[in-house]
Amino acid sequence: MDFFFSLRTSLWLLGIILVLFFAGAVIMPAHEEFQTIHSIPMFEWLMQQKPAVTWWLWGLIGFLAVLTLNTLFCSVESIVKKRKVTQWLLLISPQIIHIGFLFMLLAHLLSATGGSQEFAAAQEGTTLQITDNTVLRVKDIYINLDYYGYVTDWKVNVEYLSGGKAFKTDTIAPNGPSVQMGFNINVKDMQVYPQEAVLLQISREPGAFWALAGGVLFMFGIITLIALKIKMEK
C-alpha cells in the first residue's frame, strides 16, 4: 500500500510516461492508422487497431490510471498529516494543483470515450446527419471579397431539423462556431469559385468543460502557492 503514497512512485511513473510519449512520437508518423484517430472515440478506435501499433497508448492509459491513484492517495495523506497547520491556504494550494491535474485527466477520459471529429464539404442546401434524430442544413453562405479577391468577411447560416422541422437557426462566423447538443461546428476552409462552398468541422468534446476547470484550478493553485512562498520569505 505504501507504493501509492510514495513521491518516488510519482517520479518513476512520470519517467515511464515520458518514455511512452517518445515511443508514440516515433510510431505515429510511420503508421497510417493514426490518420483516423480523431474521427471516432479513441477507445473505439483502439479496439479496431492492432496491439503492435497501439501498445504504447495502452501503456499510457494504464500508467496514467496508476498515477491518478498515486496523486489521490498522496493528496489525502498530505492533508491528514498537516491538518493542524495554521497556513491552510499554503497547505491546500498543492492539492488544488493536484485536483486541476485530475480534472484534466478526466477531461481526456471523457473525450476518449465520447469524443469525435469529422469533416464535411457543404454548399447551400446541403444537409448533414448530426445525430439519429437531428439534421444540420446549410441555409446560406456569405463570402465577401475585396478588390483584389481576398476574403474580408464570411458567415454561414445553418438550421437544425428534427422530424423534418427546423427547431433552431444559428450562424457560424469567424471565432463563432455553432454549438448544439454537445457538438461544435466550425468552418475550416472555404471555396469561392466556381461555387461557394465550405468545409465544416463537426467535433464533439465532452471533456471540454473539465479541461477548462482543470486548467483554471491548476493555474490558480500554482499562482497561490508561489505568492504565499514569496510572502513567507519577505
Between CA 198 and CA 142 the distance in angstroms is 10
Phi, psi of 159 (to 5 degrees): -140, 150
d(CA 100, CA 143): 41
pLDDT at position 219 over 90: yes
Q: How many CB atoms lie within 10 A of CB 42?
A: 20
Percent of the chain whose predicted confidence (pLDDT) is above 90: 25
Distance between CA 152 and CA 102 in Å, rounded?
42
At residue 22, the pLDDT reads 94
| pLDDT tens track for 66-98 | 999 888 888 887 777 766 656 777 778 888 898
Hey, where are the domains in the chain? 2-115+208-233, 117-204
**Beta carbons within 10 angstroms of residue 194's beta carbon:** 6
Is residue 197 classed as helix, strand or coil in its secondary structure?
strand
The phi and psi torsions of 103 (rounded to 5 degrees) equal -65, -40
pLDDT (0 to 100) of residue 217: 93
Q: Which residues of 172-193 are buried (b: 16+ CB within 10 A; e: fewer)?
A: beeeebbebeebebbbeeeeee
Indicate if the pLDDT at residue 48 is higher than 80: yes
**Owner of C-alpha cell 469533416:** 119
Note the pLDDT of residue 191. Answer: 86
